[in-house]
Amino acid sequence: DARVTQTPRHKVTEMGQEVTMRCQPILGHNTVFWYRQTMMQGLELLAYFRNRAPLDDSGMPKDRFSAEMPDATLATLKIQPSEPRDSAVYFCASGLIQAPQGEQFFGPGTRLTVL
């Protein structure tokens, strides 16, 4: 059955290291979202792609975060350099722009710990 997949599921790294998180959206979906979830802030939208083009990345710290879609089957979120405050669960979601009310389907998340 069609699902959003994310890798890795868990990542522990040291401050200053580069972190790359990957997402495979559901085949045929034309919108991709990156979210960050923490206990304090809940879910926050970091970036939004439509047909692989970045539409909104205003929620993302530009100095260290970057999001790309090199092709329709892969979305990446990079943090360089990582900091302890980046520790969170990062979710990718995909959907169809023409779907009713733009429903999104979430992946299982990447749990990032920066020491």
Partner 1 sequence: KNQVEQSPQSLIILEGKNCTLQCNYTVSPFSNLRWYKQDTGRGPVSLTIMTFSENTKSNGRYTATLDADTKQSSLHITASQLSDSASYICVVTTSPGGGNKLTFGTGTQLKVEL
Q: Kindly identify the residues of this chain, within the stretch 22-51, that bind partner 1 according to CB under 8 A.
A: 41-45, 48
Counting contacts by CB under 8 A, is residue 103 touching partner 1?
yes
Q: Which of 24, 82, 94, 104 binds partner 1 (CB under 8 A)?
A: 104
Distance CA 4, CA 17 (A): 26
Nearest-approach distance from CB 81 to partner 1, in angstroms: 27
Distance CA 27, CA 53 (A): 17
Distance CA 88, CA 76 (A): 16
Task: Count the neighbouring beta carbons within 10 Å of the beta carbon of residue 2.
Answer: 10
Counting contacts by CB under 8 A, is residue 55 touching partner 1?
yes
The residues of the shown chain that bind partner 1, judged by CB under 8 A, are: 4, 41-45, 48, 55-56, 91, 93, 100-109
